[in-house]
């Protein structure tokens, strides 16, 4: 019998796989099958693997090695995805940059993440790259994809360098992604996502979603964020990754029709754009779509019903956050049950292997249909925040990831997100969550989209204020909508005022930008909700 002194070291025996290994295996397995296309480039898995190998050789020549840090600022391009995959195979830490973020945010992230090499797409982000370089003296190297004044273009070098063998050098416990998430206040926090967490996410997406047999996946949102990590299970299944440069309805619908796209990921606001444009749908046949994944923000149940009438029972929902990526819960096609209309407001059940509970402020689990904060543990969860022990202590207290989202759970195990704790409106003693009011507003046939915030009120503390985009041709007034919400939810939930607007501001991830909406009303004041 082994004793404590002579037992073998088994610390790495159950370490699991890596994202780098998944990439290498997909390339080897699917060879000449179509892998990726972006309108200019169309590669098989073999050709994609050759490009990944060339990036590895190039990165090594620039001094990158296991443990180095890479960041990329580019649109949805095949070369960008190949560079990301190369970094993961090398054991290089990758930090995404959202194309729509501000210069201050980009500069802060590059410095905070201790980036060794920044690659920018010269034609679109050249000035931003130069600005970052001038502001961050610790940035060692700046290169471009495509011509850029004063910066070396990596593309000519990529064309002549010999591809390195694809040998996975990463480890499951190492950080694969250092992904920054913005809070309601203060600087972004770097979320340390290990290979273990991303492999867990990928396997859940691979196994638990209703994928078509031969995947032809369209990514229109930035591959630097949710659309990007969704590409990993596509690669595992040997699917085609079709990239477009942002969501433009005409282009998007045209690609769906031309490429016979059968799966895609969109945030709700983009789905609304497809629902509301009947002429677009007449011009382009989108009947090939078998799976439309939505997430990043809640979708109105009434608008979801509209989408199901148009596209059929093709919708899949994901709920997650950067700290537990993509799949804390999911709602499959079968869960989108029109005979149970209340369920369309759910974000689904907990993913297999992910422990999800609802706790009150004292970390006591709440009962069925009682609101509590969503707390998560399991291999999906981050390793903590980069250089932020204070934030770790708060967010990971009690051995759970505290999401900041409030939800209820029904007797069948379905979760229903009420809202963010910090977005809660306290009006006349009532705790009102914006989503409750938004869903009520969007159940009115005249409303295309809506946003709700709390504004200062001397009598009520906070007053519910709505912002509404009407459907084309609709002329409903504020009083009609207020009465509608009162009937649906009750008087305290009815907006005291409603502004009719052409668009509602959203963040780079497609979520309602409540911070921007609140700013004019709360300048110089402190909200009662932290």
Separation between Cα atoms, residue 247 and residue 270, nearest integer Å: 8
Report the alpha-carbon distance of residue 492 to residue 438 in Å, rounded: 14
pLDDT at 1: 45
Lookup result for tokens 């620039």: 62
CA distances from 259 to 27, 38, 111, 457 (A): 22, 11, 41, 53
Low-confidence ranges of the chain (pLDDT < 50): 1-2, 183-185, 528-530
Which residue in 83, 17, 33, 26 sits closest to 53, CA to CA?
Answer: 83
Q: What angle do CA 320, 259, 36 make, to 5 degrees?
A: 60
Q: For residue 152, what are the β-bridge partners? A: 143
Note the pLDDT of residue 526: 52
The pLDDT score that the predictor gives to residue 508 is 64
CATH 1.10.760.10 applies to domain 247-421: no
What whole-number distance in Å separates Cα of residue 277 and Cα of residue 39?
A: 24
Q: Does the predicted model carry a pTM greater than 0.85?
A: no
Cα separation, 14 vs 17, in Å, equals: 9
Using an 8 Å Cβ cutoff, are 372 and 360 in contact? yes
* Best CA proximity match to 71, nearest among 83, 63, 82: 83
CA 318-325-269 angle, 5° bins: 45
CA 179 to CA 189: how far, in whole Å? 8
List the CATH code of the domain at 19-31+39-194: 3.40.50.12780
Q: How far is CA 103 from CA 84, 125, 129, 373, 517, in A?
A: 22, 11, 9, 33, 21
- The domain segmentation of the chain, as residue ranges, is 19-31+39-194, 247-421, 428-522
pLDDT tens digit string along 7-36? 776 667 766 689 999 999 999 999 999 999
Nearest to 234 by CA among 266, 212, 253: 212
Asked, colleague to colleague, whether 19-31+39-194 and 247-421 share their fold, the answer is: yes
Q: What is the predicted pLDDT for the residue at 404?
A: 87
What pLDDT sits at residue 11? 60
Distances (CA, A) of 359 to 124, 365, 367, 400, 406: 45, 4, 9, 10, 9
Per-residue pLDDT tens digits for 190-243: 999 999 999 999 999 998 888 999 999 999 988 887 788 899 999 999 999 999
Phi-psi region of 106 (alpha: psi -120 to 50; beta: other; left: phi over 0): alpha
**Distance between CA atoms of residues 100 and 145, nearest Å:** 18
Q: CA-to-CA distance for 494 and 58, rounded, in angstroms?
A: 59
N residues, the chain: 530
Strand segments, DSSP code E, in 171-305 are: 175-181, 189-194, 216-219, 240-243, 263-266, 291-294
Q: Check: CATH 3.40.50.720 for 428-522?
A: no
Query: Burial of 251 by CB count in 10 Å (0-12 exposed, 13-18 middle, 19+ buried)?
Result: middle
| DSSP annotation of 334 | G
178-196 pLDDT tens trace: 999 854 335 789 999 999 9
Distance CA 74, CA 69 (A): 17
């Amino acid at each position: 019998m082994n004793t404590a002194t002579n037992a073998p070291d088994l610390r790495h025996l159950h370490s699991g796989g890596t994202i780098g290994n998944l990439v290498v295996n997909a390339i080897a397995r699917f060879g000449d099958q179509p892998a990726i296309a972006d309108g200019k480039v169309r590669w098989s898995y073999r050709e994609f693997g050759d490009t990944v190998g060339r990036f590895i050789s190039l990165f090594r020549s620039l001094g990158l090695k296991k443990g180095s840090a890479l960041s990329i600022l580019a649109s949805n391009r095949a070369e960008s995805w190949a560079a990301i995959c190369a970094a993961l195979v090398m054991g290089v830490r990758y930090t995404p940059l959202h194309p729509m973020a501000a210069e201050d945010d980009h500069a802060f992230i590059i410095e905070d993440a201790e980036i060794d090499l920044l690659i920018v797409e010269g034609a679109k982000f050249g000035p931003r790259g130069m600005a970052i370089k001038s502001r961050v003296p610790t940035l060692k190297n700046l290169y471009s994809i495509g011509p850029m004044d004063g910066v070396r273009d990596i593309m000519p070098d990529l064309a002549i360098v010999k591809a390195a063998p694809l040998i996975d050098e990463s480890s499951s416990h190492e950080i694969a992604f250092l992904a920054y998430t913005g809070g309601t206040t203060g600087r972004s926090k770097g979320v340390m996502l290990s290979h273990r967490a991303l492999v867990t996410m990928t396997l859940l997406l691979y196994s638990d979603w209703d994928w078509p047999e031969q995947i032809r996946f369209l990514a229109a949102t930035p591959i630097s964020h949710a659309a990007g990590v969704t590409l990993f299970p596509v690669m595992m299944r040997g699917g085609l990754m079709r990239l477009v440069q942002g969501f433009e309805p005409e282009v998007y619908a045209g690609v769906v029709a031309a490429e016979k796209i059968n799966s895609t990921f969109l945030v709700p606001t983009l789905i609304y754009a497809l629902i509301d444009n009947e002429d677009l749908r007449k011009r382009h046949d989108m009947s090939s779509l078998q799976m439309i994944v939505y997430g990043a923000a809640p979708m109105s149940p009434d608008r979801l019903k509209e989408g199901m009438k148009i596209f059929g029972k093709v919708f899949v929902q994901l709920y997650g956050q950067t700290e537990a990526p993509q799949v804390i819960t999911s709602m499959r096609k079968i869960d989108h049950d029109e005979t149970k209309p209340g369920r369309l407001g759910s974000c689904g059940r907990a993913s297999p292997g992910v422990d999800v509970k609802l706790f009150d402020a004292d970390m006591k689990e709440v009962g069925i249909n009682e609101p509590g904060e969503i707390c998560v543990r399991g291999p999906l969860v981050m390793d903590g925040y980069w250089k932020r022990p204070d934030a770790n202590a708060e967010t990971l207290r009690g051995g759970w990831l505290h999401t900041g989202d409030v939800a209820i759970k029904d007797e069948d195990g379905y979760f229903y997100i009420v809202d963010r704790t910090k977005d809660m409106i306290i009006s006349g003693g009532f705790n009102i969550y914006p989503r409750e009011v938004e869903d009520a507003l969007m159940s009115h046939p005249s409303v295309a989209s809506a946003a709700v915030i709390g504004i200062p009120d001397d009598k009520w503390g906070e007053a519910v204020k709505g912002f509404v985009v009407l459907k084309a041709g609709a002329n409903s007034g504020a009083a009609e909508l207020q009465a509608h919400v009162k009937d649906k939810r009750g008087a305290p939930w009815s907006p005291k005022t409603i502004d009719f607007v052409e668009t509602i501001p959203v963040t780079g991830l497609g979520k309602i930008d409540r911070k921007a909406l609140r700013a004019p009303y709360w300048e110089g004041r402190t909200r009662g909700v932290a």
